[in-house]
Structure 1
Amino acid sequence: MACKSSGSAADPRAFFADLVRCETRLYNALNDRLRERHGIVTSQFELLRYLREHPGSRVADLAAEFAIGIGATSKGIDRLERHGWVARQPNPADRRSSLLTLTDDGARLSDAAERTFTERLTELLGGALSRPQTSAAAQVLSLLRTALEREGVGIPTG
Protein backbone atom coordinates (compact mmCIF):
# COMPACT_ATOMS: atom_id res chain seq x y z
CA MET A 1 0.00 0.00 0.00
CA ALA A 2 1.38 3.41 -0.96
CA CYS A 3 1.97 5.93 1.75
CA LYS A 4 -0.64 8.64 1.89
CA SER A 5 0.02 12.37 2.14
CA SER A 6 0.06 13.55 5.73
CA GLY A 7 -1.29 16.99 4.90
CA SER A 8 1.83 18.70 6.23
CA ALA A 9 4.64 19.92 3.99
CA ALA A 10 3.61 17.68 1.13
CA ASP A 11 5.97 15.23 -0.43
CA PRO A 12 5.20 15.73 -4.13
CA ARG A 13 5.55 12.00 -4.75
CA ALA A 14 2.93 11.19 -2.12
CA PHE A 15 0.69 13.96 -3.45
CA PHE A 16 0.95 12.49 -6.94
CA ALA A 17 0.28 8.96 -5.70
CA ASP A 18 -2.78 10.07 -3.71
CA LEU A 19 -4.12 12.16 -6.57
CA VAL A 20 -3.74 9.40 -9.16
CA ARG A 21 -5.06 6.63 -6.90
CA CYS A 22 -8.10 8.72 -5.93
CA GLU A 23 -8.80 9.50 -9.58
CA THR A 24 -8.45 5.84 -10.54
CA ARG A 25 -10.76 4.62 -7.80
CA LEU A 26 -13.40 7.29 -8.52
CA TYR A 27 -13.19 6.59 -12.26
CA ASN A 28 -13.51 2.83 -11.75
CA ALA A 29 -16.47 3.17 -9.37
CA LEU A 30 -18.24 5.49 -11.81
CA ASN A 31 -17.35 3.14 -14.66
CA ASP A 32 -18.94 0.20 -12.84
CA ARG A 33 -22.18 2.08 -12.14
CA LEU A 34 -22.49 3.50 -15.67
CA ARG A 35 -21.83 0.08 -17.23
CA GLU A 36 -24.35 -1.56 -14.90
CA ARG A 37 -27.14 0.94 -15.53
CA HIS A 38 -26.51 2.21 -19.05
CA GLY A 39 -24.10 -0.16 -20.80
CA ILE A 40 -21.44 2.52 -21.24
CA VAL A 41 -18.12 3.29 -19.58
CA THR A 42 -16.95 6.56 -18.04
CA SER A 43 -14.90 7.61 -21.06
CA GLN A 44 -17.95 7.20 -23.30
CA PHE A 45 -20.08 9.16 -20.87
CA GLU A 46 -17.55 11.99 -20.79
CA LEU A 47 -17.54 12.25 -24.59
CA LEU A 48 -21.35 12.20 -24.71
CA ARG A 49 -21.62 14.81 -21.98
CA TYR A 50 -19.11 17.09 -23.71
CA LEU A 51 -21.03 16.84 -26.99
CA ARG A 52 -24.30 17.53 -25.18
CA GLU A 53 -22.78 20.70 -23.74
CA HIS A 54 -20.81 21.63 -26.91
CA PRO A 55 -22.80 20.57 -29.98
CA GLY A 56 -20.93 20.98 -33.23
CA SER A 57 -17.54 20.21 -31.71
CA ARG A 58 -14.75 18.58 -33.69
CA VAL A 59 -12.67 15.57 -32.68
CA ALA A 60 -9.78 17.98 -32.10
CA ASP A 61 -11.90 19.94 -29.60
CA LEU A 62 -12.58 16.82 -27.55
CA ALA A 63 -8.93 15.73 -27.74
CA ALA A 64 -7.85 19.13 -26.39
CA GLU A 65 -10.44 19.09 -23.59
CA PHE A 66 -9.51 15.60 -22.38
CA ALA A 67 -5.77 15.88 -23.15
CA ILE A 68 -5.79 12.71 -25.22
CA GLY A 69 -4.54 12.03 -28.72
CA ILE A 70 -6.59 12.75 -31.83
CA GLY A 71 -6.44 9.08 -32.87
CA ALA A 72 -7.79 7.80 -29.57
CA THR A 73 -10.49 10.45 -29.58
CA SER A 74 -11.51 9.60 -33.13
CA LYS A 75 -11.73 5.89 -32.27
CA GLY A 76 -13.92 6.72 -29.25
CA ILE A 77 -16.23 8.78 -31.45
CA ASP A 78 -16.31 5.96 -34.03
CA ARG A 79 -17.61 3.61 -31.30
CA LEU A 80 -20.30 6.08 -30.24
CA GLU A 81 -21.28 6.58 -33.87
CA ARG A 82 -21.58 2.80 -34.42
CA HIS A 83 -24.02 2.67 -31.48
CA GLY A 84 -26.07 5.45 -33.06
CA TRP A 85 -25.39 7.97 -30.28
CA VAL A 86 -23.27 10.46 -32.26
CA ALA A 87 -23.50 11.74 -35.84
CA ARG A 88 -20.75 13.34 -37.91
CA GLN A 89 -21.68 16.17 -40.24
CA PRO A 90 -19.46 17.94 -42.77
CA ASN A 91 -17.70 20.99 -41.38
CA PRO A 92 -18.46 23.88 -43.76
CA ALA A 93 -15.39 25.77 -42.51
CA ASP A 94 -12.95 22.85 -42.98
CA ARG A 95 -13.57 19.91 -45.30
CA ARG A 96 -10.95 17.85 -43.45
CA SER A 97 -12.99 17.71 -40.24
CA SER A 98 -16.51 16.87 -39.18
CA LEU A 99 -18.83 18.48 -36.69
CA LEU A 100 -20.16 16.11 -34.04
CA THR A 101 -23.65 16.08 -32.60
CA LEU A 102 -25.61 13.76 -30.38
CA THR A 103 -28.44 11.84 -31.92
CA ASP A 104 -31.76 11.74 -30.09
CA ASP A 105 -30.74 8.36 -28.62
CA GLY A 106 -27.37 9.81 -27.61
CA ALA A 107 -29.04 12.76 -25.90
CA ARG A 108 -31.41 10.49 -23.98
CA LEU A 109 -28.52 8.24 -22.93
CA SER A 110 -26.40 11.21 -21.90
CA ASP A 111 -29.21 12.68 -19.80
CA ALA A 112 -29.93 9.38 -18.03
CA ALA A 113 -26.23 8.65 -17.48
CA GLU A 114 -25.70 12.18 -16.11
CA ARG A 115 -28.18 11.46 -13.32
CA THR A 116 -26.45 8.18 -12.48
CA PHE A 117 -22.99 9.77 -12.65
CA THR A 118 -23.95 12.68 -10.39
CA GLU A 119 -25.72 10.44 -7.90
CA ARG A 120 -22.77 8.04 -7.61
CA LEU A 121 -20.12 10.76 -7.48
CA THR A 122 -22.08 12.56 -4.76
CA GLU A 123 -22.25 9.32 -2.77
CA LEU A 124 -18.52 8.70 -3.13
CA LEU A 125 -17.45 12.23 -2.23
CA GLY A 126 -20.03 12.65 0.53
CA GLY A 127 -18.90 9.43 2.15
CA ALA A 128 -15.34 10.70 2.42
CA LEU A 129 -15.42 14.50 2.62
CA SER A 130 -17.54 17.22 4.14
CA ARG A 131 -18.99 19.89 1.84
CA PRO A 132 -16.30 22.43 2.83
CA GLN A 133 -13.59 19.83 2.20
CA THR A 134 -15.07 18.93 -1.19
CA SER A 135 -15.25 22.61 -2.08
CA ALA A 136 -11.63 23.20 -0.99
CA ALA A 137 -10.39 20.16 -2.94
CA ALA A 138 -12.30 21.29 -6.04
CA GLN A 139 -10.78 24.74 -5.77
CA VAL A 140 -7.23 23.40 -5.42
CA LEU A 141 -7.63 21.00 -8.34
CA SER A 142 -9.12 23.76 -10.49
CA LEU A 143 -6.13 26.00 -9.75
CA LEU A 144 -3.70 23.20 -10.59
CA ARG A 145 -5.53 22.30 -13.80
CA THR A 146 -5.64 25.95 -14.89
CA ALA A 147 -1.91 26.37 -14.31
CA LEU A 148 -1.06 23.16 -16.20
CA GLU A 149 -3.31 24.08 -19.12
CA ARG A 150 -1.99 27.64 -19.26
CA GLU A 151 1.56 26.28 -19.56
CA GLY A 152 0.54 23.60 -22.07
CA VAL A 153 1.72 20.82 -19.77
CA GLY A 154 0.78 17.26 -20.70
CA ILE A 155 -0.56 17.89 -24.18
CA PRO A 156 -0.34 14.66 -26.20
CA THR A 157 1.97 14.78 -29.20
CA GLY A 158 -0.12 12.51 -31.42
Structure 2
Amino acid sequence: MTDLTSLFTDLVRLETRLYNVLDARLKAEHDLPLGQFEFMRYIATRDSARVYDLAHQMAITVGATSKAVDRLEAAGRCRRTANPHDRRSSLVTLTLEGERILAEAAPTVEAELQTWVGSVLPERSLEELATMLSMLRQRAEVDPRTDRVESR
Protein backbone atom coordinates (compact mmCIF):
# COMPACT_ATOMS: atom_id res chain seq x y z
CA MET A 1 0.00 0.00 0.00
CA THR A 2 1.27 3.47 -0.89
CA ASP A 3 2.27 5.71 1.98
CA LEU A 4 0.26 8.84 1.14
CA THR A 5 2.20 10.97 3.62
CA SER A 6 5.47 10.11 1.86
CA LEU A 7 3.84 10.78 -1.50
CA PHE A 8 2.72 14.18 -0.25
CA THR A 9 6.23 14.94 1.03
CA ASP A 10 7.74 13.99 -2.35
CA LEU A 11 5.24 16.19 -4.22
CA VAL A 12 5.89 19.18 -1.99
CA ARG A 13 9.69 18.83 -2.08
CA LEU A 14 9.66 18.35 -5.86
CA GLU A 15 7.48 21.41 -6.33
CA THR A 16 9.71 23.48 -4.05
CA ARG A 17 12.90 22.46 -5.81
CA LEU A 18 11.44 22.96 -9.29
CA TYR A 19 10.03 26.33 -8.31
CA ASN A 20 13.37 27.47 -6.89
CA VAL A 21 15.43 26.40 -9.90
CA LEU A 22 12.98 27.91 -12.40
CA ASP A 23 12.67 31.12 -10.39
CA ALA A 24 16.46 31.53 -10.13
CA ARG A 25 17.02 30.98 -13.85
CA LEU A 26 14.18 33.31 -14.91
CA LYS A 27 15.45 36.04 -12.60
CA ALA A 28 19.04 35.63 -13.83
CA GLU A 29 18.26 35.50 -17.54
CA HIS A 30 15.09 37.59 -17.87
CA ASP A 31 14.77 39.62 -14.66
CA LEU A 32 11.41 37.87 -14.26
CA PRO A 33 10.31 36.04 -11.11
CA LEU A 34 8.52 32.74 -11.72
CA GLY A 35 5.38 34.05 -10.01
CA GLN A 36 5.14 36.89 -12.55
CA PHE A 37 5.78 34.43 -15.37
CA GLU A 38 2.87 32.28 -14.19
CA PHE A 39 0.53 35.28 -13.98
CA MET A 40 1.57 36.48 -17.43
CA ARG A 41 1.20 33.01 -18.91
CA TYR A 42 -2.36 32.74 -17.58
CA ILE A 43 -3.31 36.21 -18.87
CA ALA A 44 -1.81 35.47 -22.29
CA THR A 45 -3.94 32.36 -22.76
CA ARG A 46 -7.11 34.42 -22.22
CA ASP A 47 -6.15 37.87 -23.59
CA SER A 48 -7.38 39.35 -20.28
CA ALA A 49 -8.31 38.26 -16.78
CA ARG A 50 -9.89 39.71 -13.68
CA VAL A 51 -7.83 39.76 -10.50
CA TYR A 52 -10.36 37.31 -9.05
CA ASP A 53 -9.74 34.90 -11.96
CA LEU A 54 -5.99 35.07 -11.36
CA ALA A 55 -6.44 34.52 -7.62
CA HIS A 56 -8.61 31.47 -8.22
CA GLN A 57 -6.19 30.01 -10.78
CA MET A 58 -3.12 30.55 -8.57
CA ALA A 59 -4.93 29.46 -5.38
CA ILE A 60 -3.97 32.62 -3.49
CA THR A 61 -5.98 35.46 -1.99
CA VAL A 62 -7.39 38.33 -4.02
CA GLY A 63 -5.28 40.73 -1.93
CA ALA A 64 -2.04 38.91 -2.73
CA THR A 65 -3.06 38.71 -6.37
CA SER A 66 -3.81 42.43 -6.53
CA LYS A 67 -0.35 43.20 -5.11
CA ALA A 68 1.25 40.87 -7.67
CA VAL A 69 -0.63 42.60 -10.47
CA ASP A 70 0.53 45.95 -9.05
CA ARG A 71 4.14 44.74 -9.38
CA LEU A 72 3.55 43.53 -12.94
CA GLU A 73 1.94 46.85 -13.82
CA ALA A 74 4.79 48.84 -12.23
CA ALA A 75 7.25 46.81 -14.33
CA GLY A 76 5.31 47.72 -17.48
CA ARG A 77 4.31 44.13 -18.17
CA CYS A 78 0.55 44.47 -17.82
CA ARG A 79 -2.18 47.08 -17.52
CA ARG A 80 -5.60 47.26 -15.91
CA THR A 81 -8.60 48.58 -17.78
CA ALA A 82 -12.21 49.01 -16.74
CA ASN A 83 -14.29 45.86 -17.08
CA PRO A 84 -17.18 46.79 -19.40
CA HIS A 85 -19.33 44.02 -17.90
CA ASP A 86 -18.68 44.72 -14.21
CA ARG A 87 -17.85 48.18 -12.88
CA ARG A 88 -16.53 46.66 -9.65
CA SER A 89 -13.62 44.92 -11.38
CA SER A 90 -10.95 45.62 -13.93
CA LEU A 91 -9.41 43.52 -16.66
CA VAL A 92 -5.70 42.77 -16.67
CA THR A 93 -4.00 42.52 -20.05
CA LEU A 94 -0.40 42.11 -21.07
CA THR A 95 1.45 45.05 -22.58
CA LEU A 96 3.66 44.59 -25.63
CA GLU A 97 6.60 44.48 -23.20
CA GLY A 98 4.83 41.77 -21.22
CA GLU A 99 4.19 39.75 -24.34
CA ARG A 100 7.83 40.15 -25.40
CA ILE A 101 9.34 39.03 -22.11
CA LEU A 102 6.88 36.14 -21.83
CA ALA A 103 7.88 34.94 -25.32
CA GLU A 104 11.56 35.17 -24.39
CA ALA A 105 11.13 33.45 -21.02
CA ALA A 106 8.91 30.55 -22.12
CA PRO A 107 11.73 28.59 -23.81
CA THR A 108 13.85 29.02 -20.66
CA VAL A 109 11.11 27.44 -18.54
CA GLU A 110 10.62 24.63 -21.07
CA ALA A 111 14.36 23.92 -21.12
CA GLU A 112 14.54 23.68 -17.32
CA LEU A 113 11.47 21.48 -17.16
CA GLN A 114 12.97 19.24 -19.82
CA THR A 115 16.13 18.93 -17.75
CA TRP A 116 14.41 18.22 -14.45
CA VAL A 117 11.31 16.30 -15.57
CA GLY A 118 11.22 15.51 -19.27
CA SER A 119 14.65 13.87 -19.36
CA VAL A 120 13.81 11.65 -16.39
CA LEU A 121 10.47 10.14 -17.42
CA PRO A 122 9.52 8.48 -20.71
CA GLU A 123 6.82 10.24 -22.74
CA ARG A 124 4.09 7.76 -21.80
CA SER A 125 4.85 8.21 -18.10
CA LEU A 126 4.80 12.00 -18.52
CA GLU A 127 1.37 11.79 -20.16
CA GLU A 128 0.07 9.57 -17.35
CA LEU A 129 1.56 11.85 -14.70
CA ALA A 130 0.00 14.91 -16.35
CA THR A 131 -3.39 13.21 -16.38
CA MET A 132 -3.13 12.11 -12.75
CA LEU A 133 -1.91 15.50 -11.50
CA SER A 134 -4.75 17.21 -13.37
CA MET A 135 -7.26 14.88 -11.71
CA LEU A 136 -5.75 15.51 -8.28
CA ARG A 137 -5.68 19.27 -8.84
CA GLN A 138 -9.32 19.29 -9.91
CA ARG A 139 -10.26 17.35 -6.81
CA ALA A 140 -8.21 19.67 -4.61
CA GLU A 141 -10.16 22.61 -5.99
CA VAL A 142 -13.43 21.14 -4.68
CA ASP A 143 -14.24 21.01 -0.99
CA PRO A 144 -14.83 17.29 -0.32
CA ARG A 145 -17.31 18.13 2.45
CA THR A 146 -19.60 20.13 0.16
CA ASP A 147 -18.53 19.13 -3.37
CA ARG A 148 -18.37 22.84 -4.19
CA VAL A 149 -15.47 24.70 -5.75
CA GLU A 150 -13.39 26.32 -3.05
CA SER A 151 -13.04 30.08 -3.19
CA ARG A 152 -10.04 31.99 -1.95
Q: Which runs of 5+ in 1 are unaligned?
A: 1-8
Q: Quick check: 2:39–2:54 contact (8 Å CA) kept in 1?
A: yes
Q: Please name the residue that 2:92 is paired with.
A: 100
Closer, same or farther: CA 131–48 of 1 in aligned 2, 3 Å: same
Q: Please provide the CA RMSD for this pair.
A: 1.5
Q: Quick check: 1:38–1:113 contact (8 Å CA) kept in 2?
A: yes
| CA distance in structure 1 between the aligned counterparts of 2:137 and 2:13, rounded to whole angstroms | 17
Q: Please name the residue that 2:27 is paired with.
A: 35
Would you say 1:64 and 2:56 are equivalent positions? yes
1:119 alignment partner, one of 94, 111, 125: 111
TM-score w.r.t. length of structure 1:
0.87
Task: Give the CA deviation at 1:66.
Answer: 1.0
Q: Please name the residue that 1:79 is paired with.
A: 71
| CA distance in structure 1 between the aligned counterparts of 2:59 and 2:150, rounded to whole angstroms | 7
The size of the alignment, in residue pairs, is 148
Spell out the pairing of 1:118-137 with structure 2 (5 A cutoff).
118-137=110-129
Would you say 1:25 and 2:17 are equivalent positions? yes
Task: Give the CA deviation at 1:61.
Answer: 0.4
Q: Quick check: 2:142–2:150 contact (8 Å CA) kept in 1?
A: no
Q: Quick check: 1:68–1:155 contact (8 Å CA) kept in 2?
A: no
Q: Which runs of 5+ in 2 are unaligned?
A: none
TM-score w.r.t. length of structure 2:
0.91
Aligned-residue sequence identity (percent) comes to: 43
Query: Equivalent residue of 1:96, what SS?
Result: coil
Higher strand share: 2
2:139 alignment partner, one of 147, 151, 154: 147
Task: Give the CA deviation at 1:128.
Answer: 2.4
Q: Deviations over 1:68-127 (max 9, x none)?
A: 100000000000000111010011112221111100000001111111111111111133
